[in-house]
Amino acid sequence: MAHTEWRDAPELPDFSLLKRLARDQLIFLLEQLPGKKDLFIDADLMSPLDRIANVTILKQHEVDKLYKVELKPIVSSSDQLCFLIRPRIQTVKWISDLVNADKVAGRFRRYKIIFTPQKFYACETVLEEQGVYGDVTTDEWNFYILPLDDDILSLELPEFFRDNFLEGDQRWVTTAGSALHLLQSVYGSFSKVYGIGRCAKMVYESWRELMEEGEQRTRQPEFAKVFLVDRDVDFVTPLCSQVVYEGLVDDLFRIKCGSVEFGPDVTSSDKSIKVMLNSQDKVFSEIRNEHFSNVFGFLSQKAKNLQTAYDKRRGMDIQQMKAFVSDELKGLKQEHRLLSLHIGASESMMKKKTKQDFQELLKTEHSLLEGFEIRECITYIEEHINRQVSMIDSLRLLCLLSITENGLLSKDYRSLKAQYLQSYGIKHLLTFANLRQLGLLEEQQAGETLTVMESKVGKLVNDKTVGKLTDAFSSLAKKSNFRALSKRLALVPKSGEEYDLRVPRDMAYVFSGAYIPLSCKLIEQVLERDGWTGLEEVTRMLNGQEFAVTGAPNPRNKTDAQRIVLVMFLGGCTFSEISALRFLGKERDTYYVKQIEYMVNIKLSI
């Protein structure tokens, strides 16, 4: 997103400051263990760490050797071991075993665990139970937010979704609250907070508490509006195949922590190349939000221009050539390299995606979104399963069917589940149990069972708990109401209308004009109305839990900041949603900063 695209675009704050803060704190923590030490790093912390520090910085602070945490016995001759890990019980158990093994061997070392973004009591209890509490010192590295791009911030917590929505463990609520608190203390206060979802509410409360306890300080300039949204408010969007360039790159090659590894079929050489994907990449930044059908033409035009630029060399005299080499050649070469990579990527995309299979997959998804020819869709899904093609695609389709239809008919559910287990392995009955718990894949219940059960249980317990139980039951009985929502919010444009993907007219372009992401539509509506007024019916269908709150007004300050909106997806978001919000931002002259738990690409296996 080039700033120059809009005359009047608000300046985004410099998020690289967050990196510096995180780096400084890490250095401080490393210095708490003076002397040479070996550093063990959790595998999924390596990339985030790479974004803020490098080996030289670590070496400067007496880190000798670097290891990846693999939960296996270690070979290290160092007298000091430092562990940089996520607060996971399994990892702490492994460390305890190491310490105990050293003790048995009569070896003396110093151990330090740096938990990030915070420590959990459960982890410390493990140290205590294993008898190594005190032998191991612990610290916290409050590395809450990693800026992935000019307009994307990430908590890089892949387990957020599973812990919160599947297990019902709220351990990351305060983490998210602290992240908001951090942003506010660095960049200024929030003028307004909107949200929807149970987790969103809790995060808001947790952040508010932090704010109240915070030091009194002079009122800071306003920075942004905030929108908190639970992933389970909109499960439909992440279940759809992505068709904007960045989304497709993610679906096919998996973007991790802002970078992607292109295999030999893309690089047309024998090795893989790791590429950073962000607005620094000039080629990428122009195509990332485009529907993939436009990308190829764009790239070939670009290639032609590049050729012309190279051709300028002909007929140059020495002086001109010298200037060319020093001024332009480097840039051209860089562009050349990027261009050939993205051409390679879109070639393998076209190869995979223009196949009949993909066209049929998209057609089925669109029918499901529209609620059209459901029987045919089921037959297609069945065949997809029977042919044992992509396990994940089969599951995505099943979930999409369930959510859009408010659950599957009993006989369909049983038959599809049986066939799925036959094709992909019986152990996946655990996956089905998880998906049912999440409300992603359900069997339709006979209407009254729940209310009957509720009133029965209600009689058995006292009043105080009744409310909680009702909550629990209503979440059990949670219906997606997708059809009604889709109608109310006009998410699915009337079919038959031409949709020019070159000149998108609304956010539906991110799904080939077939569907406007529910999450993004909600955000648009709420910001337009400055609240939930008029959306009562919608929120009722989304199980309520919406809120909109204003901070103390600050009339002096009506600046650009009013136009920055920080959207926090609790449980992850997709690149399609990011593209849709960028589109919205362009239209409304607003900047959307996306803060996410993790990029999801729905993966819910056991």
Would you say how long the chain is, in residues?
Answer: 606
Nearer to other proteins, 61 or 88 (CB): 88
Least Å from the CB of residue 138 to other proteins: 10
Q: Residue 444 interacts with other proteins (CB under 8 A)?
A: no
Concatenating the DSSP letter of every residue in 76-125 gives: ---SEEEEEE-S-HHHHHHHHHHHHHHHHTT---EEEEEESS---HHHHH
Nearer to other proteins, 57 or 186 (CB): 186
Cα 172 from Cα 564, distance rounded (Å): 25
Which of 333, 468, 529, 603 is the binder for other proteins (CB under 8 A)? Answer: 468
SS3 assignment, position 191: strand
Tokens 């037959």, residue? 379
Least Å from the CB of residue 338 to other proteins: 35
Least Å from the CB of residue 426 to other proteins: 4
Residues 6+ apart with CB under 8 A from 500: none
Site for other proteins in 340-369 (CB under 8 A): 356
Which of 66, 329, 472, 489 is the binder for other proteins (CB under 8 A)? Answer: 472
Q: Residue 418 interacts with other proteins (CB under 8 A)?
A: yes
Closest CA to 22 of 231, 228, 182: 182
Q: Residue 170 interacts with other proteins (CB under 8 A)?
A: yes
Which of 107, 387, 540, 603 is the binder for other proteins (CB under 8 A)? Answer: 387
Bridge partners of 594, per DSSP, are: 152, 567
Which of 547, 560, 562, 563 is the binder for other proteins (CB under 8 A)? Answer: 547
Which of 100, 259, 390, 423 is the binder for other proteins (CB under 8 A)? Answer: 423
Least Å from the CB of residue 419 to other proteins: 7
Q: Residue 552 interacts with other proteins (CB under 8 A)?
A: yes
- Which one-letter amino acid corresponds to residue 240? C
Element (H, E) at 138: strand 136-140
Nearer to other proteins, 185 or 340 (CB): 185
Site for other proteins in 111-140 (CB under 8 A): 118-122, 125-126, 140
Nearer to other proteins, 209 or 327 (CB): 209
Segment interacting with other proteins (CB under 8 A) among 35-43, 88-96, 233-241, 311-319? 88-96
Q: Residue 89 interacts with other proteins (CB under 8 A)?
A: yes
Least Å from the CB of residue 548 to other proteins: 9
Q: Residue 606 interacts with other proteins (CB under 8 A)?
A: yes
Nearer to other proteins, 277 or 535 (CB): 535
Cα 382 from Cα 303, distance rounded (Å): 43
Nearer to other proteins, 332 or 350 (CB): 350
Task: Please give the backbone phi and psi of residue 441, each rounded to the nearest 5 degrees, phi first.
Answer: -145, 105
Q: Site map for other proteins, 512-541, x if CB under 8 A?
A: ------------------------------
Which of 64, 163, 261, 286 is the binder for other proteins (CB under 8 A)? Answer: 163
Q: Residue 173 interacts with other proteins (CB under 8 A)?
A: yes
Residues 6+ apart with CB under 8 A from 144: 117, 155, 175, 178, 179, 182
Q: Site for other proteins (CB under 8 A): how many residues?
A: 66
Q: Residue 452 interacts with other proteins (CB under 8 A)?
A: no
Concatenating the DSSP letter of every residue in 344-393 gives: HHHHHHHHHHSSHHHHHHHHHHHHHHHT--HHHHHHHHHHHHHTT--HHH
Beta strand pairing call for 259-262 and 146-149: unpaired
Least Å from the CB of residue 166 to other proteins: 9
Query: Cβ distance 365 to 241 under 8 Å?
Result: yes
Cα 327 from Cα 348, distance rounded (Å): 34
Query: Cβ distance 391 to 424 under 8 Å?
Result: yes
- Residue 194 half-sphere exposure toward CB, CA atoms < 13 A: 19
Q: Residue 551 interacts with other proteins (CB under 8 A)?
A: yes
Return the C-alpha torsion angle 577, 579, 583, 586, nearest 10.
120
Which of 74, 303, 469, 501 is the binder for other proteins (CB under 8 A)? Answer: 469
Binding site for other proteins (CB under 8 A): 88-90, 118-122, 125-126, 140, 163, 167-174, 193, 201-202, 204-206, 208-209, 211-213, 215-216, 356, 383, 386-388, 414, 417-419, 421-427, 429-430, 433, 461, 464-465, 467-469, 471-472, 547, 549-552, 606
